[in-house]
A and B are shown apart, each in its own frame.
Chain A
Amino acid sequence: MEDQVCPRCRTTKYRNPSLKLMVNVCGHSLCESCVDLLFLKGSGSCPECNVPLRRSNFRVQLFEDPVVEKEVDIRKRVLKDYNKKEEDFTTLEEFNDYLEEIEEIIFNLTNGINTIETNKRIDQYKKENRDTIMKNKMKVGRTEIELEELLEIEKQMDEVRKMDQLREEVETKRKKMKIKEAMIDELMFSQGDAKDIVNTFQSNLEEEMKEQEKIPDRTTQFSTGIKFGKGSSEFAPYFKIEEGPLFTYTPPEFVYEGPDPPKWNHLRPYLMHVRQTTIDETAGGFDAAIGCLRALQEACAGLYFKNT
């Protein structure tokens, strides 16, 4: 780190502690002020390799070796298209060959070997596998969302834990104070031997500490925040269906409190006098007989009603 130096203006970290090296896709670093200066218009070419660059693509250099940065960039770009998974291949060997190919492409691009040819290869691959690429992109999106959720949960848990800790600390502090006060009171007013009193308090305190240690929080998750036994998140949650006794149909019993209305099978003459169902209504499952029977039933229901 000590010789972090901008290749253009030769400023070092020593001379300018706020020096920030930036890197672009070509893998050559520049300090922040040089980037500001050279890419005033938003785009320009790299002072070392003359590759046209855009200012928005500059980012802070994370690794000491800018070549690593370049490789990371290239890897990101290549993997966007080469996003097949092991499931997409029939044999492990094919998958391994595929991984090998990816590495080769990345190596070639990073080190500038056969760049044009390799780019051609990528283009061809893209053309051939457009469908799978699209499909896998969707999948990747989903796994990323899940991952983010996990991270979010972890963050929350962390906060809760921190709060718990804080509270506990305050609690123990208060307790200690109390005990101390109690001890001093005891020392002031009791007639016993001071040594004995101090000793009993000491032992009481130790016992309490031990007790507290005995009940640590039951951990329910790994340090990464993934819950024990949650299993792979790729499966939908599985609910166990509890099966009760089978349903047996008993026809409802009507209390008419009146004369018996006609039955289903005697409705034919009545249906002559009600509006026939239209095609639309039949499609909805409606039948003129239903309404007709209901009217007849309601006419009979409660006819003998007499409130006593």
Chain B
Amino acid sequence: MFPTSSQRKHWMFKNEDELQTLRVQANQNYIESYQDRLGPSAQPTLNAEDEKTLLKYYEHTMMRDLCKKFQPPMPKAVIGTAFNYFKRFYLNNSVMDYHPKEILVTCVYLACKVEEFNVSITQFVSNIKGDQKKAADIIINNELLLMQQLNYHLTVHNPFRPIEGFLVDIKVRSRLANAEKLRSGIDELIEKLYLTDACLLYSPSQIALAAILHSASKNQENLDSYVTQTLLGGDPTRLTDLIEAVRKIRIMSKPSDVFQPNRDLIKALEKKLDACRNEENNPDSQIYKERMNELLEDPDERPSARKFAKARRSMGGDKMTGVSAIDPNLSP
């Protein structure tokens, strides 16, 4: 249940300002470490606003396309969960540290697993254009990192089941004649909300109710008496908050109506990103390849090193055992 979930406890935020602060912080952290590392040879970096534009672009084009064209077709819950992971990940990480192209496929892959949509890695990468073996490597290498960054809070409460619940309830307790016709309007709003931060600010049932009310008003139906009288039992204090939440969610969805990625701007940003990204996390870079080779050779050729790592682990010195194998320099 949502009220007792890790989502409610750790991944719900007060307002957009709080999200913005976190993102700016992540951006700043990266820039500082980047400039420390490279000194004068550092390239110009992206700012938080650039990152936001890029993320939105990747969500809007790549991630949505991947989910929609996925074969076999994936359930909605997988898509919702994947978007949720993606947003959570970039709250605390910079785009320049981990390229969104890599993280987004990993998010979708992990969401498939968590939502029990069974696809093998080969089946999964057959949906990706380009070098599929490399894609599989990237996904598998990033999977543990992603889980760690999500703090292993993998269960995501999506608005889809609440929507079903509301629809059944509306059929039973309201005078609405044909509740099923609301569905297309609901799906439309939910799709738009994928591209917003709604899932980090409002509970899934609030989002579900907003979608239903949005669809009802589009269909020129009135569910006001259902919400005020039946659902809330005429409790005015609760009503104002709920209506406010619904209103804000609906407002949030508006800008994505007109979201038109500015191709030139995106191209420029991507170019900049390629220059200033963290080479240690770039699978095409020499550093990354060297490190991966080292990790692969480790177990056989340097048993003493492994023993040492084991001893260190047993002493409790190494906190992130699972992920340390991927990125020893990673800051939690």
Contacts and interface: CB of A to CB of B under 8 A. Distances in A.
Given A257-B3, A270-B168, A305-B206, A295 B161 contact: yes
B108 interface: no
Interface residues of B, number: 35
Contacts of B268: none
For the complex, would chain A's binding face be called helix, strand, loop or mixed by DSSP majority? loop
Interface in A292-308: 292, 294-308
Contacts of A292: 168
Given A257-B3, A295-B164, A304 B157 contact: no
A302 B14 contact: no
A254 interface: yes
B254 interface: no
Given A257-B3, A258-B205, A298-B161, A308 B168 contact: no
Interface stretch (B60-68, B121-129, B230-238, B270-278): B230-238
B205 A302 contact: yes
A269 interface: yes
Nearest to A258: B205
A299 B205 contact: yes
A308 B238 CA distance: 15
Contact of A303 (B14, B164, B172, B206): B206
Which of A258, A270, A297, A305 has the most chain B CB atoms closer than 10 A to its own CB? A305
Given A302-B8, A304-B242, A307-B13, A270 B169 contact: yes
Which of A269, A292, A296, A302 has the most chain B CB atoms closer than 10 A to its own CB? A302
B231 to A, nearest CB: 6
Interface string B1-19: 1111000100011100000
A297 B165 contact: yes
A134 to B, nearest CB: 46
Contact of A255 (B1, B169, B209, B233): B1
A259 B3 contact: no
Contact of B169 (A257, A296, A308): A296
Given A294-B161, A295-B164, A302 B3 contact: yes
Contacts of A301: 1-3, 162, 203, 205
Given A294-B161, A305-B203, A306-B241, A299 B1 contact: no
Which of A272, A297, A307 has the most chain B CB atoms closer than 10 A to its own CB? A307
Which of A300, A303, A305 has the most chain B CB atoms closer than 10 A to its own CB? A303
Contacts of B165: 261, 294-300
Given A259-B231, A259-B233, A299 B241 contact: no
Interface string B227-254: 0000111000010011001000000000
A273 interface: yes
Contacts of A261: 165
For the complex, would chain B's binding face be called helix, strand, loop or mixed by DSSP majority? helix
Nearest to B4: A255
A273 B171 contact: yes
A137 to B, nearest CB: 46
A259 B232 contact: yes
A292 B171 CA distance: 13
B202 interface: yes
A296 B161 CA distance: 8
A282 B164 CA distance: 21
Contacts of B34: none
Given A257-B3, A259-B232, A298-B2, A305 B202 contact: yes
Contacts of B205: 258, 298-303, 305
Nearest to B202: A305
B208 interface: yes
Contacts of A273: 167-168, 171-172
Contacts of B167: 273
A138 interface: no
Interface residues of A, number: 28
Contacts of B8: 302, 305
A269 B171 CA distance: 9
A256 interface: yes
A158 B201 CA distance: 69
A305 B199 CA distance: 12
Interface in A17-56: none
A177 interface: no
Given A255-B1, A270-B168, A273-B171, A298 B204 contact: yes
A274 interface: yes
Contact of A299 (B162, B172, B201, B238): B162
B166 interface: yes
Given A294-B161, A303-B205, A256 B172 contact: no
Contacts of B1: 254-256, 297-298, 301
17 contacts: A257-B3, A258-B205, A261-B165, A270-B169, A273-B167, A294-B161, A296-B165, A296-B168, A299-B166, A299-B205, A300-B165, A300-B205, A301-B203, A302-B205, A303-B209, A305-B12, A305-B245
Given A257-B203, A270-B172, 6 more contacts: A254-B1, A273-B171, A295-B164, A298-B1, A299-B163, A302-B203
Interface of B: 1-4, 8, 12-14, 157, 161-169, 171-172, 201-206, 208-209, 231-233, 238, 241-242, 245
